[in-house]
Structure 1
Amino acid sequence: MRLPTLMLALLPLGACAAPTTALVPTPHEGVRISGGGEFSTKDTSAIVYDAKLAPSGAQASVTVESADGQTRTSFVAEGLLPDRKYGVHLHTKPCGLKPDDSGPHFQHAHASPSATNEVWLDITTDRSGAATSAARNPWALTPDRVPHSLVIHASATATDGTAGARVACLTLK
């Protein structure tokens, strides 16, 4: 209620002063982050931890776009094992040389794991080892609080949020 009162108080000044936009909130521009590449054992932008489950030549990409109160995430993978389920989640820290370097699952609200509080992108690969996945969550990221990696896990996500060992990781920028 204070903002409308302040605006009404400034109306008489508007006739004499130049227009101002200081009182008009600017819309949130949104957040867009992405990552991708062919998995290797040395490059932390696209690193593999288990070459049996993400063999040589495996690659993936992810795009996260967040604005207007929602977050949309798209994931594409190729060259993984055929006809296999993998858990896929956004994580809090960038990928590192060790699987745990990427930290825990990114959560919108620090609460219990769920597909609405986290970004779950589980996949089942086709006979060539390719898969796509997308998620839409009813919350937006802010520039100062974003996930920093996407992790492919060895198993599909259980209801408690666990998904097995970390197979590969993409750093998001």
Structure 2
Amino acid sequence: MGLRSATALLGIVVCALGAAGPALADPPAARPAFSLVTFVEYTPGAHGVTYDAASVPVGSRAAVLAAPDHGGTTVALLVRGLLPGRAYGAHVHQKPCGATGDAAGPHFQHVPDPVQPSVDPQYANPRNEIWLDLTTDMNGNARSSAGVDWQFGDRPAGSVVLHAEHTHTGPGQAGTAGPRLACVTVDF
């Protein structure tokens, strides 16, 4: 499934966002992974968590689709009901959502940086990580997708985290995007 196909498939789930509740059961990693959530304050087992309800309101929604693609992976993110006209950073992280944004761990990196937290552009870049930065429209809706030439394999990721600003790329700050505002657990 190519980037266009993944984006088109994600478009199909837009209608489902109107009825979003708890995350749907995610398929095994060999098939596309999908998570559809309504953001709530943290409760154990929540798949869509807001850590900053002023920036990611309770009741706003998100869908994440990850699809293997000829040795690569395409990930698409769709959000509804966030703040209008606002930039958000978004990245795939190593662990599922938890009580705080830090529970999701660092960004998932295909080739892990031996120095953590990773701010070296050699490792913290959109070819080695999955970056899904977006800017919402007048209604607080947006979509983003990214493709990489690798798959998760035996080191699956666990979530997509929304950050306070678009991702920085310079040395010493590469991959940073401000505080963690919300999290979507995805069984990559």
TM-score range, shorter chain: 0.7 to 0.9
Map of 1:32-51 to 2, 5 A cutoff? 32-43=32-43, 44-51=46-53
Whole-angstrom distance in 2 between the partners of 1:156 and 1:38: 22
The one-character-per-residue Cα deviations of 1:92-140 (angstroms, maximum 9, x if unpaired) are 0010011100000001111320000000000000000000001110112
**2:118 equivalent to 1:79:** no
Determine the structure 2 residue equivalent to 1:98: 100
Structure 2 letter corresponding to 1:154: A
1:128 alignment partner AA: N
Letter in 1 for 2:157: P
Matches within 5 A, 1:127-142: 127-142=138-153
Between the aligned partners of 1:138 and 1:31, the Cα distance in structure 2 is 16
Question: Using the alignment, how far apart are the partners of 1:137 and 1:60 within structure 2?
Answer: 21
Per-residue CA deviation, residues 47-71 of structure 1 (Å, 9 max, x unaligned), is: 0000000113211010111242110
SS in 1 for 2:102: helix
Mapped partners of 1:83, 1:66: distance in 2 = 31
Give the letter aligned to residue 136 of structure 1.
G
Q: Structure 2 CA distance, aligned partners of 1:141 and 1:68?
A: 13
Q: Which residue of 1 aligns with 2:185?
A: 171
Q: Offset at 1:36?
A: 2.4
2:4 corresponds in structure 1 to: none
Q: In 2, are the aligned partners of 1:31 and 1:67 still within 8 Å (CA)?
A: no
Distance in 1 between the 2:167 and 2:110 partners?
18
Q: Gaps spanning 5+ residues in structure 1: where?
A: 1-28
The unaligned stretches of length 5 or more in structure 2 are: 1-28, 114-122
Once residues 156 and 42 of structure 1 are traced to their aligned partners in structure 2, the CA distance between those partners, rounded to angstroms, is 24
- What secondary structure does 2:32 align onto? strand
Of 120, 135, 156, which residue of structure 2 is paired with 1:146? 156
d(CA) in 2 for partners of 1:34, 1:146: 14
Amino acid paired to 1:116 = R
How far, CA to CA, are the matches of 1:145 and 1:66 in structure 2? 14
The list of structure 1 runs, each at least 4 consecutive aligned residues, that deviate by more than 3 angstroms after superposition, is none
